[in-house]
Every structure is written in C-alpha cells, then in structure tokens.
Amino acid sequence: MFIKSASHTSIRKLLLPAALCILAPVAALAQSEMSAAAADPMVGGAAMYPSRNIVQNAVNSKDHTTLVAAVKAAGLVGTLEGAGPFTVFAPTNEAFDKLPPGTVNTLVQPANKAELTKILTYHVVAGNYDTTELLNMISAGNGHATLTTVEGEPLTLTSNNGDIVVTDAKGGTADVTIADVRQSNGDIFVVNAVLMP
C-alpha cells in the first residue's frame, strides 16, 4: 500500500509541471480576453473584445442583426474587417425599425446596393475617436464638432449633459446610447437612429 501511494505521488510530481505548462497559455489567453471584454461595455447582450474587429464583434450583438445584414448586402464586410481605423456610429435594430415600413427590405435588394452603401458609409468616419476626444472637439468648436464620413458628407456632433448627439445632413438626430466600444480596428458608438446623408 505504501509503495503504491509513493508511486502515485511520484507520477503526480512528474505530471503536474507538464499539465501546468499546457494549461498556463490557455488560461492566460482566456484571462486576457475576459479582462479585455470587462474593459468594454456589453452590446446587444454580448461581450465586445478589443482584440476583434468591428464585424467580428457586431455579429454577436443581438441588437445589430439588421445592421450586419445591411453591411453584408452592401458588400462592406471586407472594408469593416480591414485595418482602418474606423469610428462607426452603429444603429440598433430599433433604430432601423423607426424608418418608414419597407425601407430596409427595399434597401437590401441588389438593385439598391449603391443607395445602401451610401447610407452605411455615412455612419463611418476614418480615424479612431473616443468620447473624450469628441467632447474636446465639441468644446473647442463652441458646442459643435464636424466629422467627415467615409461617404463624404459631414456629421455634426453636439453634447447634451456630456452625452453625444449626432445630427445628420437632413437634420435628423441620434443619441449615442453606448460609447467607446473598442475594436482592433477602431471604435463603435451605438446610436438610436439611422443617420441619413
């Protein structure tokens, strides 16, 4: 009995370092992703990982299924997976639901790809901005900041008690409901309305 017990102890002493060598990198990676996700706000019930790109994170948000479908229909997945950096004002499903009935179904038709692309790229700004930087720009601009979108037309930003409000070219407004969702290739600001060029 004593010999058997000693044998088990010896085997454990040999196997434990090997097991730790195998498990340590896996645990470190999991801890790294968990820590990174904790730094970012949850979006659509999903953790957002700064180590992943805009598309990789957006597909996990249950609040952005319409946006993801529209990005796919417009052929913009490759662009938003690119190096960027991009700042994206990402409308929720509820934001798209505010559009006149049938608008989204019409826009995702192949014949309307150019119009859909125009609208989606109007939500994207080249560069990586965070709330602090945007608020500083608004302050420096006497209450207004202008960002030129990838589409080419401007968005106007103002502040409402520290919250950012985005005004589009048609005078429509969207509130930023979740800010500073960091991505490997930029930043996402969740907005509650679709911006129109």
Residue 176 has pLDDT above 50, yes or no: yes
Instruction: Give the model confidence (pLDDT) of 105-124 as tens digits.
Output: 899 899 999 999 999 999 99
Tell me, what's the pLDDT at 9? 52
Tell me, what's the pLDDT at 59? 85
CA geometry: angle 61, 27, 8, nearest 5 deg: 145
pTM of the model: 0.78
More confidently predicted of 134 and 81: 134
Lowest mean pLDDT among 2-16, 39-53, 160-174: 2-16
Tell me, what's the pLDDT at 4? 47
Burial bucket for residue 149 (CB in 10 Å: 0-12, 13-18, 19+) = buried
Tell me, what's the pLDDT at 31? 45
Q: How confident is the model at residue 184 (pLDDT cuts 50, 70, 90)?
A: confident
The mean pLDDT value for 151-174 works out to 94
Fold of the domain built from segment(s) 54-191: FAS1 domain (2.30.180)
Q: How confident is the model at residue 97 (pLDDT cuts 50, 70, 90)?
A: very high
8-state DSSP, 89:
E
Instruction: Give the model confidence (pLDDT) of 20-39 as tens digits.
Output: 445 444 444 444 444 444 46
Tell me, what's the pLDDT at 139? 94
Contacts of 48 (CB under 8 A, 6+ apart): 37, 40, 41, 42, 57, 60, 61, 181, 182, 183, 188
Q: How confident is the model at residue 134 (pLDDT cuts 50, 70, 90)?
A: very high
